[in-house]
Amino acid sequence: MDVRRAAERYPGGDPATGIESRHAFSFGPHYDPGNLRFGAVIACNEERLAPGAGFDEHPHSHTEIVTWVVDGELTHRDSAGHRTVVRRGDVQRLSSAGGVRHVERNDGAAPLTFVQMWLAPVRPGGEPSYEVVRGIADSTPYAVPEAAAMLHVRRLTAGERTAVPDGAYVYVHVVRGDVRVADAELGAGDSARIADAKDLDASAVTDAELLVWEMAG
C-alpha cells in the first residue's frame, strides 16, 4: 500500500481567477514519470472554484471523467448538448471517447469543491456519452465498464468499519474526515494506492467520506 498525503499534491489552477487545483498524479507542468497512473486512474484532482469562476471550454478525448461534488454546485455544458447542474452526492461521468469539449463553472453563490477523477479506457475511440446519477447510495457501486473499474462511495460515522473491495488495483481517496486503512491513518485529501488488495477494511476515526475505486488488472 502506497500512501500519498494531501500536502504532496501538485498545486495548479489559477488562484487569481478563483480556481485552486491539487493534483494527485503527474499533471500539466508537474511532470513526474514515476507518477503517471495507478491501475486505470490517471488523475485525481481536487478543484475549488470561487463563485463565478470556472474552466472555459476545453477538449478531452479517450478518457473517462468521473466527478464527485463535495460542496456547492457544478454547472456542466458540453459540445454534445448536455447542460446539467451537479450537486453534492451526485456522480457525473463524461465519456470523452473520440473527442468532446466541455465547460465547468461555479454559477452559484457559494464556493464549489469537487473531486474529478480521470480513468484510461480499455479501448480508445467511440462516441462520447454523458450521465449523472443523483444521490448515489453507499450500497450501489457505480460501474465504469469502459475502464474496467467500479466506484464505491462510503460514508462512515466515527467508529464504523467498511470492507475495502478486493482487487488487482484499489485506489482510496478520503473526501472528508479521518480513517484508518490497514496500519495507515488517512485524512482529508490523502489517498492510498493498494495493489492486490485482499481482506482489508477501513475504519472511521471520525465521521468520514471515501471514494474507493476497484479496478481489474
Domains of the chain: 2-215 (2.60.120.10)
**pTM score, two decimals?**
0.95
Residue whose C-alpha cell reads 484532482 in the numeric block: 45
- Residue 7 has what DSSP assignment? G
Confidence (pLDDT) at 167: 95
* φ and ψ at residue 127, rounded to 5 degrees: -100, 140
Give the sign of the dihedral formed by CA 33, CA 39, CA 40, CA 43. Answer: negative
Return the pLDDT at 141.
95
Which ranges of the chain have pLDDT less than 70? none
- Distance, CA of 45 to CA of 55 (rounded, Å): 14
Q: Is 215 exposed, middle or buried (0-12, 13-18, 19+ CB in 10 A)?
A: buried
**Cα radius of gyration rounded to whole Å, the chain:** 16
Query: What pLDDT, on a 0 to 100 scale, did the predictor assign at position 10?
Result: 95
Please give the span between the terminal C-alpha atoms of the chain, in angstroms, as a whole number. Answer: 16
Measured at the CA of 137, the angle between CA 41 and CA 167, to 5 degrees, comes to 35
> What's residue 137's pLDDT?
87
The residues facing 183 across adjacent strands are none
pLDDT for 18: 97
CA quadruple 26, 212, 163, 183: dihedral sign = positive
Cα–Cα distance for residue pair 2/150, rounded to 1 Å: 20
Cell numbers for 189, please give them: 485529501
Sheet holding 129-133, edge to edge: 10-14, 19-23, 41-49, 112-119, 64-71, 91-95, 129-133
Q: Over the stretch 114-168, which tens digit does the pLDDT of each residue have?
A: 999 999 999 988 899 999 999 998 889 999 999 999 999 999 999 999 999 999 9
Cα distances from 86 to residues 44, 131, 157, 174, 197, in angstroms, run 18, 11, 25, 20, 32
